[in-house]
Chains A and B, each alone.
Chain A
Amino acid sequence: MAVADDQQLSAVLDEALIAVGDRPALRGWRCASCGRLAFGIKRICPTCGANEGRETRLEGVGALETWTKVFGQSAYVIGYGLVGDGEDDQRVRVFGPVEADGEGDLVPGLPVEIRFRVGTTVWGDERVHHFFAPEAR
């Protein structure tokens, strides 16, 4: 897998989840009525039902909530991170691969940076996707 550059982003971007701008970020959404933050663009607020909101960007550093190492044909680590858009202290739960060979350095609450790369999904297609890069402890 390679770190995504602009050309790769335009080729295989999952536009439902990832916005580009100056740099890639996960798409967030804030309800105009209740202010609740969500992951992905919503037509209707999942919390209050209002249908107006604005897009925001989930980026930077989040906190690792939980994780597991999956022992399939090849072992890999995945987890849930709690991430925000920096506007207030709201965070939403986002699933993603965790860049870790093992689990020894992982602890609940570990800061993880949201990064992007080109990878092959389990369905076999190649796309840009996010992953969590743990900060060195």
Chain B
Amino acid sequence: MTDAYVIGIGMTRFTKHEADDVELGAQAVAAALADAGIGTGEVDALYAGHVHGGMVAGERVGAETGLAGIPTINVENACASGTTAVIEAVHAVRSGRFDCVVACGFEKVSDRKGMITPAEGDYEGALGLVFPAWHAMRARLYMNEFGLTREQLSLVAVKNRHNGALNPLSHWKEEVSVEDVGASREIASPLRLYDCCPKSDGGAAVVITSKRPDGRAIVIHGTGLASGRADGNYEALFEDVTARAARAAYDEAGIEPDDVDFAEVHDCFTIAEGMRVEGLGLAKQGTYFRQLEEGRWSMDGETPINASGGLLAKGHPLGATGVGQLCEVATQMRGAAGERQLARTKVGVAHTRGGSVPGTEGGSCGVLVCVSE
């Protein structure tokens, strides 16, 4: 089986855009092709992750970027749609089905009113569950079990907004203090506005090939995809779906959590970063926030988390989010991250969670393990 190399990346800024989702996807795909230095004739297939894009949105992006006519695969897996598209693209390249593919994600979120809800027909959504509330209830459980404080929760936003202020493609460019987070308006107790990611528009794309590039190679060595187990008694304080996706990716890559130098983690809410870093095996359950205070997850810490600013600062355009995480991992491995450049970038992880399903621990989860060679 061949390896899958990331040879091109491109993304728009994640923010409120006038352009529609297809245009944002097309901008990202064009940028990734230019970055890879290849023509459209070299691309065998297009994988497109989106949540609200509608029918054949990937084909519409292809038609705008010279990729019409090739096999196009549309992927919906809620917020993990982009990562799932990448995972499928990687396996298609590894298996020899295609030699060179583009995986992209795009979304228009800023024009959607109110808080994001589960899919229509979901009984929890019908009765008032919104995603901030889902995370708020886990934050309360975590507070009760592990003594998490309001100030510790705020430190996640402080860290990621600091990182995002150094990222030209970030939605938010302003730093916040612990006091700012605690004083921001209530959304779903105990979460406040700055505990929540913004509703961003954006597009992101990568070019993946089986041909090893000259010089530095960024290889996707591990992929893991999991869905929430349908067990009404699931462990609410542990990200088992993340742990299972991560284990699959680590095993495929032949690494352990201790080998991870840095990670982009699905921090849609402050509590989510903590629980998901623990689910990834980078911290023992109940210890993430203490280590946050000690600086372990900062850019100059032992294992930087969300140097891009994460969803909390960089933004969260659903289908584009996971591909954007991979773009950040590749940017760090290239040494091209400017003021937010990390020191150790040999092994990087991108982690994305998506959606909720009643009676399960969550919807989807995708994990990518990238290695710089």
Closest Cβ neighbor of A82 among chain B residues? B233
A:81-122 near B, CB below 8 Å: 90-97, 103, 108, 121-122
* Interface hit among B116-124, B208-216, B310-318, B363-371: B116-124
* Interface hit among B136-144, B286-294, B301-309: B136-144
Q: Taking the complex as formed, is B188 at the interface, i.e. its CB lies under 8 A from any CB of chain A?
A: yes
Task: State which of A70, A71, A79, A129 has its C-beta within 8 Å of the C-beta of B185.
Answer: A71
> Is the CB–CB distance between A39 and B232 below 8 Å?
yes
Contact residues of A: prevailing secondary structure? strand
Q: Taking the complex as formed, is B187 at the interface, i.e. its CB lies under 8 A from any CB of chain A?
A: yes
> Is the CB–CB distance between A70 and B128 below 8 Å?
yes
> Is the CB–CB distance between A93 and B127 below 8 Å?
no
Which chain B residues border A121 with CB–CB below 8 Å?
A: 126-127
Q: Taking the complex as formed, is A37 at the interface, i.e. its CB lies under 8 A from any CB of chain B?
A: yes
Q: Taking the complex as formed, is A20 at the interface, i.e. its CB lies under 8 A from any CB of chain B?
A: no
Task: State which of A46, A76, A79, A91 has its C-beta within 8 Å of the C-beta of B231.
Answer: A46
Determine the interface band of chain B, counting residues with CB < 8 A from chain A.
Answer: 35 or more
> Is the CB–CB distance between A68 and B232 below 8 Å?
no
| Per-residue contact bits, chain B 324-349, to A (CB 8 Å; 1 contact, 0 not) | 00000000000000000000000000
> Is the CB–CB distance between A68 and B114 below 8 Å?
no
Determine the interface band of chain A, counting residues with CB < 8 A from chain B.
Answer: 35 or more
In the bound assembly, the distance between CA atoms of A122 and B125 in angstroms comes to 7
Closest Cβ neighbor of A107 among chain B residues? B144
| Per-residue contact bits, chain B 129-149, to A (CB 8 Å; 1 contact, 0 not) | 110110011101100100000
18 other A-B residue contacts (CB within 8 Å) besides A66-B137, A66-B236, A96-B127: A36-B231, A38-B359, A46-B232, A66-B138, A68-B188, A70-B187, A71-B188, A78-B133, A80-B236, A93-B232, A93-B233, A93-B234, A95-B124, A103-B189, A108-B144, A122-B117, A122-B126, A129-B123
A-B contact pairs, 20 of them (CB 8 A): A16-B123, A38-B359, A39-B358, A65-B236, A69-B188, A70-B128, A70-B132, A70-B187, A71-B186, A71-B187, A78-B127, A78-B129, A80-B137, A95-B358, A108-B141, A123-B120, A127-B126, A129-B123, A129-B126, A129-B127
